[in-house]
Amino acid sequence: MQISKSLLVDSAMILALVLIGVVGYKLSPLLLPKADATANPDPGCDLHRDVCSAALPGGGRLRFSIAPRPIPVVEPLEVTVDLDGADADRVAVDFAGVSMNMGFNRPGLAKVGPRRFAGPATLPVCVTGRMTWQATVLLETGSKRIAVPFRFDAGH
């Protein structure tokens, strides 16, 4: 019995698609931030003008800022997270385009003081011009992860 060449090619393609699916599933937690709890920013939040804050589940507040203001693209940014009545072991900010995938952009912030985290970031330029971004602050405390999403527009 002879196996045809097209059957081997078809089988290899199916196997490759299955492998891509499995790898994508295994790596999805890296690309899509998972959280045990989510908090929403206070109404009227405008990161272009001021520090934004959010009440955290279980108590405490988070204050989030991006400088300089207004927020530019393709320029160095300083991202700061201050915690009041809460603490975190690690803090990162996941920057994602709302209407367009702009790639993985999740800088970790360094602890620079009691309950204060800061670090550099950069937003890539969008070829379509102005874009809505979501900056999701990810707080990790022990085995719990809290996500706080902030939206803003940037670009020309």
CA torsion through residues 75, 105, 95, 125, sign: positive
The reply to whether 97 and 50 lie within a common domain is yes
| 17 pLDDT more than 90 | no
Tell me the per-residue pLDDT of 34-58, one tens digit each, with 9 for 90 and over: 678 889 999 999 999 999 999 999 8
**Residue scoring higher pLDDT (128 or 120):** 120
Tell whether 68 and 132 lie within a shared domain.
Answer: yes
Q: What is the pLDDT, as a whole number, of residue 126?
A: 65
Domain of 73, CATH number, reads: 2.60.40.10
Average pLDDT, the chain: 85
| Shared-domain flag, residues 69 and 134 | yes
pTM tops 0.85: no
Quickly list DSSP for 43-74.
Answer: TT--TTTS-EEEEPTTS-EEEEEEESSSPPSS
Tell me: do 97 and 140 sit in the same domain: yes
Range of the domain at 1: 1-31
In this predicted structure, the answer to whether residue 28 has a pLDDT above a threshold of 60 is no
pLDDT tens digits for range 70-121? 999 889 999 999 999 999 999 999 999 898 888 888 999 999 999 999 999 9
Q: Are strands 108-113 and 116-121 parallel, antiparallel or unpaired?
A: antiparallel
